[in-house]
Amino acid sequence: MQPSGTLRIHELTAEERAVYAKLKPERLPEHVAIIMDGNGRWAGRRSLKRFLGHQQGAKSVQLVTETASRIGLPWLTLYAFSLENKLRRPRAEVNFLMRLLKSYLESNVQRMMDNNVRIRYIGRTHELPPEVQDKMRWAEETTARNTGTTLTLALNYGARSEIVDAFRSLAAEMQRKHLSPGRIDEEDIRRHLYTANMPDPDLLIRTSGEMRISNFLLWQIAYAEIYVTERLWPDFRGVHLLEAIADFQRRERRYGGLGEGGGEVEEDPEQIRIAAG
């Protein structure tokens, strides 16, 4: 599904256009989620302080979002700050990330307007510093009527705590409506997640080569295709998003079934002897 009238292929770089030309536009993922990793290593390899890696990472956020909006990607979700980051990183780094987020929003809302991007957030954002929350609210309200890509930043986010929050909210609803637990189904849980009004990610990208999910969207990625690149996040650009989508389009999604052509059974399974012991 494409947001209508938002394709701006002519604004892609020549390098991006070459990759885009090989894509099947009718088979674009609807939702791409990214675990942005490697800012610290990017800085370390250049003997720079970690915060410069984060600063360069913020540039990648802007450029990748703009490419997503040009190809009409409806949903882009970025893991910007985890609950664990807040608890386990030095206070100075956490404070820097908060200031960076605030200044990112201040200086990028106009570009989001120019690119028809709407910004939203998931996570326990009420625990972030009040001045950051004010800026987040301002950016969300300013861009609320944009109809192109929805950029969702996961901030102070953890998937397990999202599930805890969903269960708390579902339990409160059940108590209010006098419902019995035996009636809970997947749809009940889904509609209490932070992502209730979003489709599940089709493609999950992780940069910097780590083969981990790191407590990101655990419920929602049940059937996502996973793409891991060695590239560090500050070096990740729109063209790399398009390469990941090209890889995604080469995959066969099966959702637990047999996939195309997999339904032809050569022998009657009833006749196959199952060896005992």
What are the residue numbers of the active site?
37, 85
> Closest approach of Cβ 44 to ligand FPP, in Å?
7
How many Å apart are CA 83 and CA 87, to the nearest integer? 6
Q: Of the two residues 39 and 195, which places its CB atom closer to ligand FPP in the complex?
A: 39
How many Å apart are CA 232 and CA 202, to the nearest integer? 22
> Closest approach of Cβ 106 to ligand FPP, in Å?
11
Site string for ligand FPP, 100-129 (x = CB under 6 A): xx--x-------------------------
Tokens of 211: 């083969």
> Closest approach of Cβ 100 to ligand FPP, in Å?
5
Span interacting with ligand FPP, options 18-26, 96-104, 142-150, 186-194, rule CB under 6 A: 96-104
> Closest approach of Cβ 61 to ligand FPP, in Å?
5
Look up residue 258 and give its amino acid. L
Strand 75-82 to 150-157 pairing: parallel
Contact 118, 148 (CB under 8 A): yes
Q: Of the two residues 54 and 70, which places its CB atom closer to ligand FPP in the complex?
A: 54
Q: Of the two residues 28 and 58, which places its CB atom closer to ligand FPP in the complex?
A: 58
Tokens of 148: 């192109």
The residue of the chain with the least Cβ separation from ligand FPP equals: 40
How many Å apart are CA 138 and CA 130, to the nearest integer? 12
HSE-CB at 88 with a 13 A cutoff on CA atoms is 5
Site string for ligand FPP, 172-211 (x = CB under 6 A): ----------------------------------------
Q: Of the two residues 7 and 63, which places its CB atom closer to ligand FPP in the complex?
A: 63
Question: 238-250 vs 50-70: helix axis angle to the nearest 10?
Answer: 60
What DSSP string describes 184-221?
Answer: --HHHHHTTSTTTTSPPPSEEEE-TT----TTSSTTTT
Applying the rule CB under 6 A, the residues between 63 and 82 that interact with ligand FPP are 80-81
Q: Of the two residues 28 and 148, which places its CB atom closer to ligand FPP in the complex?
A: 148
Contact 71, 117 (CB under 8 A): no
DSSP type of residue 125: G
> Closest approach of Cβ 170 to ligand FPP, in Å?
30
What residues are paired with 121 via a beta bridge? 153
How many Å apart are CA 86 and CA 94, to the nearest integer? 6
Q: Of the two residues 28 and 97, which places its CB atom closer to ligand FPP in the complex?
A: 97
Does the protein bind ligand FPP through residue 17 (CB under 6 A)?
A: no
- Length of the chain in residues, anyone? 277
Site string for ligand FPP, 21-60 (x = CB under 6 A): ---------------xxxxxx------------x--xx--
> Closest approach of Cβ 109 to ligand FPP, in Å?
12
Contacts to ligand FPP by CB under 6 A: 36-41, 54, 57-58, 61, 80-81, 85, 100-101, 104, 153, 233
